[in-house]
Amino acid sequence: MRLNPGKEANTTGKIVTYDHMHKSASDKGTSYAFSSVQQLIEDFFNEVNRILKEVSK
């Protein structure tokens, strides 16, 4: 979860449980929902490992 700080940063000031991910360098990003910080970090490193395997082929 992260707290959007409010109007100073052009945000809502609400706690959100989503972030975004990019599927390519030109992708502007798609929403990604998560239930915990641990899940977010695990998913991130799983995606990094997937990409590294793909690139090393």
**Could you report the per-residue pLDDT of 1-56, keeping only the tens digit for each?**
444 454 555 555 666 666 777 777 788 888 877 788 888 889 889 988 988 998 89
Per-residue confidence (pLDDT) for residue 4, from 0 to 100: 47
pLDDT for res 23: 74
* pLDDT value of residue 49: 92
Euclidean distance between CA atoms 37 and 2, whole angstroms: 9
Instruction: Look at residue 7 in the predicted model and tell me its pLDDT.
Output: 53
Predicted pLDDT of residue 1: 45
Find the domain containing 46 and state its range: 2-55
User: At which residue do the structure tokens 């090393």 appear?
Assistant: 56
Instruction: Tell me, yes or no, if the pTM score tops 0.85.
Output: no
Considering its fold, how many domains does the chain have in total? 1
- Buried b / exposed e over 28-43, threshold 16 CB at 10 Å, is eeeeeebeeeeebeee
